[in-house]
Chain A
């Protein structure tokens, strides 16, 4: 409260100071022509710079597509594009992928890229002692064979419809055997930017790779600065210390940037399905009526307005609304407190219920949790809020299934498959859902895949596994003259390949 007060007071004083500065002509002009460097703000510092050795989104936000590349890459619209593999052939049974690699590609340390590097990277990621956070991406691979220096044959044990998409993840980038061990602190990739230095706790600097195989980057230098405090991020943007903050942490200040001609505010989509997760294995939530009651008790739009200042899209299932296969199921459990009360009474909880609501640190969870607790109270469910740190959240609700309700955003793309996992923290077990996923994995026909995705979405909505809240929005703030940044984030990345300054 004290902080919030300080913040708003500070803001109005800041506006006053700004006005004074403008009136007295003290604000210097940033009229430097042909700027070729960019400074980008990020909320969290990456723990290391090896995308194959950690789950932190911050790693990919610095190095994905900039420093490291995979066989394929994910484009700004979420489509799969060729990267180090110029093209590929898929056998009729969907089991053998033959990748033709690009010629003349070198790593930043001068070593040549060839098929051996691909074999090395994929074998390393799926090895017994691998510490790749997304090991599941490689689970379908049975063998990787070098045909010739520019051809690699990947054989799968069973067809995997999303294999090419999987190979575009940051966790599947192709590293060199010579440098892989040091990538955490000195990343060596094939991308359009090379690593220059890292002042820990402050910034990472990248420089243009003059020997890049593709179209070279237009920027000469890119600096990623780590500013976690939302107020500090606001001040740094306003002072133009930063050129862009692609994932701005304080939605409450966006209107001030919108009103300022120096900045562009771009609201885009993410892959973050924000859910009120329910422990399906624990009484009384093993009763579908109780789960349905919770779904009817929550007013999603009120949560979006109150917690996210209106930025976000309501969802009715665990799927991104901008995806072609999305089904709008938001009407299935419309906001209806009376119905929620009736369902609770039917389930034998007419005189109320007390549950725990464990909240991780992000503001969508903390603010959203307060609002949802109010809404649940209105139907007789008392939610006891506990605020957890991330590490604690992973230990208690996530690994230990020690929770009733929690709020979290699942930011991995196309992750509906988590509902088929037996040991997952929802504790949801459905043979029908598993059968859909099984068939999906064995299907490569796009039309059939779309149908199956839709069946899967309906299945978890029918079972009211969780209360599906909203898709996180990505609020980017950047200098109005800076072009070519991604508006959406189909993967968590700050791809600067196409970024440039407009005169």
Chain B
């Protein structure tokens, strides 16, 4: 187990190093000068040059790469070109929106998907199963930004239960903050719940053919009892894999939903930063997201071991 963790840790570091180089190079070749962008169409060339100097854009490439990566280790991500505040603060602010949103969406997806998937598996090939499969197919097919607009038009414009978007900040109160994340979380959760329910169903159906289920039934358990007590736990491995992927996706991939609801999350930060050539922000956020994905995968690997005792005992 110890060497398993160590091995995973080395590959995690190598992945991050490779990612940092790729990200840095891509940002270098991207056309567009942050200083010229900031000063606009009437800018005096001397003012642009002065700003480039001030932003440290005139230093050699290698120097800038080392400054950036070196800063990462001590938690100093540099100063945003456009906002002129530390990138770390910007990211921290956005995480307070993106992480709760991702967690809410994931929780919602799990709460919906588990029972639905289990019911579909238990009543396989029945009318209930067909309805659930149809509904989840629809849930995957509907683009979430479109579903998001429907939610806004129904619950914000029509019923006025929620505001059409925006985030008042946690200072305004936990409940107020949570409320502003409800519609975006629902919009994000719908396709994820649909995927998860289908995975749950098929994973359960696979285990239902296993010998231990037959044994359980032979002991006198009902089909439902056998599923609840024996099959679900065994079906969790593929489900966990999907949940891990979904969390990374929700954290990094909510750009469109964040735009529809004009939420100040990580996705919108990247989106804005790319347009404004705030390259230092783009680099740091992307690397951070890569780190998050790698770490989530690592955690999922550890979770397998928790679910499946056979993996824990496996010799190195």
- The contact string, 1 if C-beta is below 8 Å from chain B, for chain A 21-39, is 1000011100000000000
Question: Once bound together, how far apart are the Cα atoms of A225 and B167, in whole Å?
Answer: 10
Choose from A21, A47, A238, A408 the contact partner of B82 (Cβ within 8 Å): A47
**Residues of A contacting B34 in the complex (Cβ-Cβ under 8 angstroms):** 391
A interface bracket (residues with beta carbon within 8 Å of B): 35 or more
Question: Once bound together, how far apart are the Cα atoms of A48 and B165, in whole Å?
Answer: 23
Find out whether the CB atom of B154 lies under 8 angstroms from the CB atom of A17.
Answer: yes
Confirm or deny: B93 has a beta carbon within 8 angstroms of a beta carbon on chain A: yes
Interface stretch among A154-162, A194-202, A285-293? Answer: A194-202
Choose from B46, B90, B164 the contact partner of A232 (Cβ within 8 Å): B164
Question: Once bound together, how far apart are the Cα atoms of A128 and B47, in whole Å?
Answer: 8
Find out whether the CB atom of A7 lies under 8 angstroms from the CB atom of B264.
Answer: no
Interface stretch among A96-104, A129-137, A454-462? Answer: A129-137
Find out whether the CB atom of A202 lies under 8 angstroms from the CB atom of B262.
Answer: yes
Do A6 and B145 form a contact, CB below 8 Å, given A200-B93, A391-B33?
yes
Choose from B33, B40, B146, B278 the contact partner of A133 (Cβ within 8 Å): B40
Find out whether the CB atom of A136 lies under 8 angstroms from the CB atom of B51.
Answer: no
**Residues of A contacting B85 in the complex (Cβ-Cβ under 8 angstroms):** 185, 200
**Residues of B contacting A129 in the complex (Cβ-Cβ under 8 angstroms):** 50, 53-54
Find out whether the CB atom of A6 lies under 8 angstroms from the CB atom of B31.
Answer: no
Interface stretch among A70-78, A297-305, A392-400? Answer: A392-400
Do A135 and B46 form a contact, CB below 8 Å, given A202-B169, A235-B165, A392-B32?
yes
The chain A residue sitting closest to B260, CB to CB, is A232
- The contact string, 1 if C-beta is below 8 Å from chain B, for chain A 387-428, is 001111011101100000000101010010010000100000
Confirm or deny: B38 has a beta carbon within 8 angstroms of a beta carbon on chain A: yes
Confirm or deny: B22 has a beta carbon within 8 angstroms of a beta carbon on chain A: no
The chain A residue sitting closest to B156, CB to CB, is A239
Choose from A18, A229, A389 the contact partner of B158 (Cβ within 8 Å): A18
The chain A residue sitting closest to B82, CB to CB, is A47
Find out whether the CB atom of A131 lies under 8 angstroms from the CB atom of B51.
Answer: yes
Confirm or deny: B175 has a beta carbon within 8 angstroms of a beta carbon on chain A: no
Do A27 and B160 form a contact, CB below 8 Å, given A2-B143, A6-B143?
yes
Question: Once bound together, how far apart are the Cα atoms of A469 and B261, in whole Å?
Answer: 35
Find out whether the CB atom of B264 lies under 8 angstroms from the CB atom of A241.
Answer: no
Question: Once bound together, how far apart are the Cα atoms of A28 and B158, in whole Å?
Answer: 10
Chain B residues numbered 87-140 whose CB sits less than 8 Å from any CB in chain A: 90, 93-94
**Residues of B contacting A250 in the complex (Cβ-Cβ under 8 angstroms):** none
Find out whether the CB atom of B156 lies under 8 angstroms from the CB atom of A56.
Answer: no
Find out whether the CB atom of A235 lies under 8 angstroms from the CB atom of B84.
Answer: no
Question: Once bound together, how far apart are the Cα atoms of A423 and B44, in whole Å?
Answer: 11
Find out whether the CB atom of A130 lies under 8 angstroms from the CB atom of B157.
Answer: no
Find out whether the CB atom of B259 lies under 8 angstroms from the CB atom of A14.
Answer: no
Find out whether the CB atom of B37 lies under 8 angstroms from the CB atom of A390.
Answer: yes
Q: Which residues from chain A sit less than 8 Å from chain B, CB to CB?
A: 2-3, 6-7, 9-11, 13-14, 17-18, 20-21, 26-28, 45, 47-48, 54-56, 128-136, 184-185, 199-203, 225-229, 231-232, 235-236, 238-241, 389-392, 394-396, 398-399, 408, 410, 412, 415, 418, 423
Q: Which residues from chain B sit less than 8 Å from chain A, CB to CB?
A: 31-34, 36-47, 50-51, 53-54, 82-85, 90, 93-94, 143, 145-146, 149-150, 152-154, 156-160, 163-169, 259-265, 268-269, 272, 274-278
4 smallest beta-carbon distances between A and B, as pairs? A201-B264, A55-B40, A391-B32, A17-B158
